[in-house]
Copies of this chain bind each other. A is one copy, B any other.
Amino acid sequence: MNAPADLAHLTPDVHQRAVPQALLDALAARFGAQCSTAMAVRVQHGRDESAFTAVPPPAAVVFAESTQDVTDAVTLAGEYSVPVIPYGVGSSLEGHLLAVQGGISIDLMRMNRVLSINPEDLTVTVQPGVTRKQLNEEIKSTGLFFPIDPGADATIGGMSATRASGTNAVRYGTMRENVLALEVVTASGEVIRTGTRAKKSSAGYDLTRLFVGSEGTLGVITEITLKIYPLPEAISAAVCSFPSIEAAVRATIQTIQLGVPIARVELIDQNTVRMVNAYAKLGLREEPMLLMEFHGSPAGVKEQAETVQEIASEFGGKAFEWATTPEERTRLWTARHNAYFAAIQSKPGCRAISTDTCVPISRLADCLLDSVAEADASGIPYFLVGHVGDGNFHFGYLIDPEKPAERETAEALNHKLVTRALQLEGTCTGEHGVGLHKMDFLITEAGVGAVDMMRTIKRALDPKNIMNPGKIFSM
Contact = CB atoms under 8 A, between A and B. Distances in A.
Interface of A: 118-123, 162-165, 169, 173-174, 176-177, 186, 190-194, 196-207, 209-210, 212-214, 218, 229-230, 253, 257-259, 296-297, 299-300, 303, 356, 358-363, 390-392, 422, 425-434, 438, 441-442, 445-447, 449-451, 453-454, 456-457, 459-461, 472-473
Contact of A196 (B202, B258, B445, B461): B445
A418 to B, nearest CB: 11
A171 to B, nearest CB: 11
B121 A362 contact: yes
Nearest to A180: B360
B118 A203 contact: no
A121 B256 CA distance: 9
A221 to B, nearest CB: 14
Query: Chain copies in the assembly?
Result: 2
Contact of A200 (B198, B257, B390, B460): B390
Contacts of A473: 204
A212 B206 contact: yes
Contacts of A258: 230
A204 B390 CA distance: 19
A336 to B, nearest CB: 18
Contacts of A186: 449, 453
Contact of A361 (B120, B427, B472): B120
Contact of A454 (B202, B205, B456): B205
Given A300-B303, A446-B203, A120 B426 contact: no
Contact of A164 (B173, B196, B202, B229): B202
Contact of A118 (B297, B362, B422): B362
Contact of A430 (B200, B257, B427): B200
Residue from A196, A202, A253 having most chain B Cβ neighbours under 10 A: A202
Given A202-B163, A204-B442, A209-B206, A192 B449 contact: yes
A359 to B, nearest CB: 6
Given A176-B200, A197-B425, A360-B123, A461 B450 contact: no
Contacts of A356: 202
Contact of A203 (B194, B206, B445): B445
Given A163-B202, A202-B434, A299-B303, A197 B461 contact: no
A213 B421 CA distance: 29
25 contacts: A119-B257, A120-B257, A120-B362, A123-B360, A162-B202, A163-B206, A176-B200, A176-B209, A177-B177, A192-B447, A192-B450, A198-B360, A198-B392, A199-B358, A199-B361, A202-B433, A203-B441, A205-B214, A206-B206, A207-B450, A210-B210, A297-B300, A299-B300, A300-B303, A453-B461
Contacts of A120: 253, 257, 361-362
Given A121-B363, A205-B210, A453-B461, 19 more contacts: A122-B257, A163-B206, A176-B200, A192-B449, A193-B446, A197-B360, A198-B392, A198-B425, A199-B390, A199-B391, A200-B392, A202-B427, A203-B434, A204-B446, A207-B450, A209-B209, A296-B300, A456-B461, A457-B461
Given A201-B430, A391-B199, A190 B461 contact: no
A240 B229 CA distance: 27
B358 A198 contact: yes
A70 to B, nearest CB: 15
